[in-house]
Structure 1
Amino acid sequence: MTTIRTLAPAVLAASLFTVSATASAGFVVTYEAAGVTNTTASFTPADPGAPDGQAIVGVERFDAVPTGVHASHVSNFGGNGHGISGTYQNLNVIAANQYGGATGDDRYAVAGISATTSYSIDFNKDLTYFGYWLSALDAGNQVSFYNGDTWLYSFTPTNVLALVADKPEYFGNPISPRVGQNDDEPYVFLNFFATDDTRFDRIVFAQTVSTAGYESDNHTVGIWEEQSGTEVPPSQVPEPGTLLLMGAALAAAGAVRRRG
């Protein structure tokens, strides 16, 4: 297991298409193997000596959430999170298509596509882990972590491109019946591990290009015990010029195609 560390706040604000192999202190970000739509991390047991399957982790798959924009949606993350709940605000849920849906026949969350610009999740307790299947990456996709009103960390399109730009197996929808569709955009499961006593209780998904979308599924929350996933070693991080070209391509794709 290796990690990717991302941009400092001032640099992050300066340019969408700048990348660094150094992350803000307090978070480790990894990615799962191509085609994997759930985390392979392990989680702290709910009680000492609890049997397997009773760890502090839960997943919101959106399958039972009606399609459309929801001013408020409270999730218990499948009822398996041992008391973790989250209130989604301004959540848009749509049916699976070439841009998202982790099983190919379900629903997923999206910001953008001319319907919303962002949505937030407020948790009832401090957490150390969040993961999700990011599909059809676009320019303008950004996820941010907070503790109360204090911003902790953000992750952008260039950070994702730094992970998978040289790995063609991550491009295109990997889920039947749409395997290979939309092959110019990455699909990848991301893990965010809070470290060094960092804790978060709020997440915001934002999409700054309104006609594009920030698609995600299988929102996973918990208290992590052992990290999983892979890092891009600094020597393999793409050059900024490569990311600029790929970022421009993502922006162009988002500008000419309305999602939905």
Structure 2
Amino acid sequence: MLKKLSIALLGLTAVVMSSNPASAITLKVNAGPFSSYSDAKTVTFDDGTAKDPNGFVTYSNITDNIVIGSKSGQYAAPYGDDTKYLTIAPVGSGVAGSTGFVTLDFKEAIDYFGFYAGSLDSYNFVDIYSGGKLLKSFSGSDVPTAIADGSWTSKEANMFINLVGENGEKFDRVVMRTNGIAFETDNHSYRLANRSVPEPNAMLGLLAIGAFGATSVVKGLKDKTVKD
């Protein structure tokens, strides 16, 4: 009986230790040109480059993607944005930023990425990766409350988009791409993932409950044996 109990307890421990819920990345939005997450670091492009002053993210596939203002048929500044920003257009389109995509590689895992999107379109995409594995792809049409119609002025097409890792989800690469002219973004923000075990207090509580239950069962079995 005690051997069977030991096997059962090992099974209980395995269940507790692997009780992390299914991972997910969710989309959230806020008004204005900046992230609502106070602990996020931001790349503004204000110096005319795609360089992170904090040194955690590296941009690649950049040519003439940093622009300012609006140019008909090429790019439109996010609403109310009079600073420099990033634009992406399809390869061969003959306009500024025609690299097709831009890749952001993070030196450490993050659990949050956000950006101010201008004149959002349904053909604008964001791909999220971890260790080379694609976790999720979003299009402009997936953004909550958004109307991805390319409007230069509506709040439904100009908003700050937040991609949040839930339940301990982490990622280390973001690819921004577009199938049409153009994908304009500014104030890229990110947050380094918590390096500790997710919800340690909750995990310790579960283990404590399991240990207490196991002790009670063993004690009960011993008492029963003595009485018998």
| Fold shared by both chains (TM-score > 0.5) | yes
Residues 129-159 of structure 1 show CA distances to partners (whole Å, capped at 9, x for unaligned) of 1110011112321001101211111110211
The offset of 1:172, in angstroms, is 4.6
Partner residue, 1:111: 88
- Structure 2 residue runs of 5 or longer lacking an equivalent are 1-21, 195-228
Partner residue, 1:88: 59
Cα contact 1:138–1:185 (8 A) shared by 2: no
Tell me the distance in 2 between the aligned counterparts of 1:117 and 1:65. Answer: 19
The offset of 1:61, in angstroms, is 0.7
SS in 2 for 1:163: coil
Residues 42-89 of structure 1 show CA distances to partners (whole Å, capped at 9, x for unaligned) of 43xxxxxxxxxxxxx2111101025xxxxxx5423xx4xxxx511101
Return the letter of the residue paired with 1:163: T
Partner residue, 2:191: 222
Residue 146 of structure 2 is aligned to residue 164 of structure 1? yes
- Which structure: larger Rg? 2
Cα contact 2:128–2:134 (8 A) shared by 1: yes
Identity %: 24
Tell me the distance in 1 between the aligned counterparts of 2:118 and 2:88. Answer: 12
TM-score norm. by structure 2 comes to 0.62
Tell me the distance in 2 between the aligned counterparts of 1:64 and 1:121. Answer: 18
> Which residues in structure 2 correspond to 1:209-248 (within 5 Å)?
209=180, 212-223=181-192
The offset of 1:102, in angstroms, is 6.5
Partner residue, 1:18: none
Cα contact 1:129–1:223 (8 A) shared by 2: yes
Between the two proteins, the alignment pairs up a number of residues equal to: 161
Tell me the distance in 2 between the aligned counterparts of 1:224 and 1:25. Answer: 14
> Which residues in structure 2 correspond to 1:110-149 (within 5 Å)?
110-112=87-89, 114=93, 115-149=98-132
Tell me the distance in 1 between the aligned counterparts of 2:80 and 2:155. Answer: 20
Partner residue, 2:37: 41
Residue 28 of structure 2 is aligned to residue 30 of structure 1? yes
Name whichever structure is richer in helix by fraction: 2
- Structure 1 residue runs of 5 or longer lacking an equivalent are 1-23, 44-56, 67-72, 174-179, 226-260
Tell me the distance in 2 between the aligned counterparts of 1:149 and 1:224. Answer: 17
Tell me the distance in 1 between the aligned counterparts of 2:113 and 2:155. Answer: 26
Tell me the distance in 2 between the aligned counterparts of 1:204 and 1:197. Answer: 21
Compared CA separation, residues 102 and 126, structure 1 to 2 (3 A): farther
Cα contact 2:35–2:114 (8 A) shared by 1: yes
The offset of 1:224, in angstroms, is 7.3
Compared CA separation, residues 61 and 105, structure 1 to 2 (3 A): same
How big is the alpha-carbon RMSD for the aligned residues of Structure 1 and Structure 2?
2.9
Return the letter of the residue paired with 2:174: I
Compared CA separation, residues 65 and 195, structure 1 to 2 (3 A): same
SS in 2 for 1:201: strand
Cα contact 2:124–2:139 (8 A) shared by 1: yes
SS in 1 for 2:145: helix
SS in 1 for 2:167: coil
Tell me the distance in 1 between the aligned counterparts of 2:28 and 2:193. Answer: 13
Cα contact 1:193–1:224 (8 A) shared by 2: no
